[in-house]
Amino acid sequence: MNDLLEKANKLGIKIPAITAEEINEQIKPVLKKMEEAGVMLDCEALNSLDVKLSDKLKVIEAEIYEKAGRELNIGSPIQMADLLFNELKLPSEGLRRTKSGVSTAAQELKKIEDCHPIIPLMLEQRELSKLISTYLKPLPLLVDENSRLHTTYGLETSTGRLTSSEPNLQNIPIRGTFGGEIRAAFVATEGMKLIAADYSQIELRVVACMAKDTAMIEAFEQGEDIHSRTAAEIFNVKQKDVTPDQRRKAKAVNFGIVYGQTPYGLSQALNIPVDEAAKYIKTYFEVHKGIKNYINEMIEKAHSDGYVETIFGTRRYLPNIASHIRYISEAEERMAINMPVQGTAAEILKLAMIKLDRELSSLNTKYEARNTKQIQNSNLKNSEIVSGFDIRVSDLAHMLLTVHDEIVVEVPSSEAKQVAQIVKDAMEGVVKLCVPIEVSLGIGDNWAEAK
DNA sequence: AACTAGGCT
DNA sequence: GTATAAGCCTAGTTG
């Protein structure tokens, strides 16, 4: 523990005196409450979207059969690859190969999108069948008698993140044509609102601090748009002259830092030549010497100690860091770079949840006292006072979900603004990094609206 | 059970 | 020569 505080001091970080093990013990009852509370699902909305998309899917599949000249199993990558590259003779150079042949992943198909009308159809088919089979069909079958969905949170990950399963509520769609509609089916109870509170670039703030990277620290202190700042650096332009495409590329570079980027990886992510990607990375490290140094330090530590760790002491052992098989050792190097950052961000979120749980509990006690008093003074029945609050009077505002850098809270509409500020303050203040921590807030009747 | 694919941060 | 940006969970196909 003393080690941890000492380490934090060196980095200019103020953290609560608590170990990773203690964080995990204390988060358990919080997660249990969230699991039991569940989140209300608008099953009718999902069912009608299911009907709509299933109809659309049938039409698209018929068109695929027509273009193919025969019926085949569209869900089989083997059969589809055979059709595309053997029968239709579409070009397969430049496409990734899997163990079973040419990849038909959407990312690869986009490269030959203009070669044949069947490709756009396949992409649309994939999107629809994914949504239908993973979300629209299964989720409505899992709700309880109150239309609420109960996930199970897990603590067993290699970085310290949480997992969510049966159902996984950490991969509910948000992008794409229908993502928003699906997320909008996660609704607040009558008379209540959802608050969605998101850490803004928490991993980059963490790495800026762990790496003591002067340029990145300055960017966050000044409240700059970090991606456009990076764009200005790697393209050697003024920040105001950064184009949207330059910003998009810089965003990928920033993601890459946290992932242990390689020229090849960046080139794939951006669909650009490897040497162009290599240039961006080279320029980036010329500006961000602190980041470069952090990367070297983590790799060295993994070699010397056999593990890397977060600020709070969660460890990840990397037994193959010295493997003579290069891609094995390189994979563990990337884990060594990523884990302390992803893991520390996860710990910050867990600590915020523990803190927020306490604050909401004490707030709820006050509400309860107030409501009891109102009931006594008014001669109204309890049910009339709390009508619309279809949950225990002692538990009015509560956390429902968490998605890595986000917390979703359910709260009586009348208290939403006040509680949102409490959530934001708890999340922003739970630890003091060497840069400000920012949380963005949304309030709405459903999860899409609250983002 | 392995593989491929694809949803999220 | 071989792989190739971190961490998860779920669904469908294949053998």
Q: Is A194:A445 a contact under the CB 8 Å cutoff?
A: yes
Given this model, what pLDDT does residue A367 score?
75
CA–CA separation, A379 and A32 (whole Å): 36
DSSP states of A385-419 as a string?
HTTT--S-TT--SEEEEE-SSEEEEEEEGGGHHHH
Of all nucleotides in the shown strands, which has a C1' nearest the CA of A96? Answer: C4
Q: Is the CB of A75 under 7 A from strand B?
A: no
Given this model, what pLDDT does residue A391 score?
43
- If we measure between CA atoms, which residue out of A236, A224, A266 comes closest to residue A248? A266
Q: Is the CB of A100 under 7 A from strand B?
A: yes
Q: Is the CB of A111 under 7 A from strand B?
A: no
Q: How far is the CA of A75 from the C1' of C12 (A)?
A: 7
- If we measure between CA atoms, which residue out of A251, A258, A207 comes closest to residue A233? A251
Is residue A440 within a helix (H) or strand (E), and if so which, with residue range? strand A439-444
Q: Is the CB of A404 under 7 A from strand C?
A: yes
The token pair that represents A55 in the structure block: 């109809």
Give chain B positions with protein CB within 7 A. 3-9
pTM (2 decimals)? Answer: 0.95
CA–CA separation, A295 and A308 (whole Å): 11
Q: At what angle do helices A202-210 and A289-305 cross, to 10 degrees?
A: 80
CA–CA separation, A392 and A365 (whole Å): 11
Q: Is the CB of A338 under 7 A from strand C?
A: yes
Q: How far is the CA of A241 from the C1' of C10 (A)?
A: 43
Q: Is the CB of A174 under 7 A from strand B?
A: yes
pLDDT in tens, chain A (451 residues): 678 888 889 999 999 999 999 999 999 999 999 999 999 999 999 999 999 999 999 999 999 999 999 999 999 999 999 999 999 999 999 899 998 899 999 999 999 999 999 999 999 999 999 999 999 999 999 999 999 999 999 999 999 999 999 999 999 999 999 999 999 999 999 999 999 999 999 999 999 999 999 999 999 999 999 999 999 999 999 999 999 999 999 999 999 999 999 999 999 999 999 999 999 999 999 999 999 999 999 999 999 999 999 999 999 999 999 999 999 999 999 999 999 999 999 999 999 999 999 999 999 887 777 777 666 666 544 444 444 444 444 468 999 999 999 999 999 999 999 999 999 999 999 999 999 999 999 999 999 999 9
Please enumerate in sequence order all residues whose Cβ is within 8 A of that of A16, keeping only pairs 6 or more positions apart, or say none: A351, A430, A431
Q: Hey, is A102 helix, strand or coil?
A: strand
Given this model, what pLDDT does residue A388 score?
40
Of all nucleotides in the shown strands, which has a C1' nearest the CA of A176? Answer: B7
Q: Is the CB of A91 under 7 A from strand B?
A: no
| Nearest residue for B4, CA–C1' | A77
* Total H helices, total E strands in chain A: 19, 13
Tokens 């006690």 map to which residue?
A: A365
| Count of C-beta atoms within a 10 Å radius of residue A78 | 12
| Nearest residue for B8, CA–C1' | A171
Supply the DSSP symbol for A325. S
* Bridge partners for A317 per DSSP: A307
Given this model, what pLDDT does residue A125 score?
98
Given this model, what pLDDT does residue A364 score?
83
Q: Is the CB of A130 under 7 A from strand B?
A: yes
Q: At what angle do helices A244-259 and A326-378 cross, to 10 degrees?
A: 100
Q: Is the CB of A73 under 7 A from strand B?
A: no
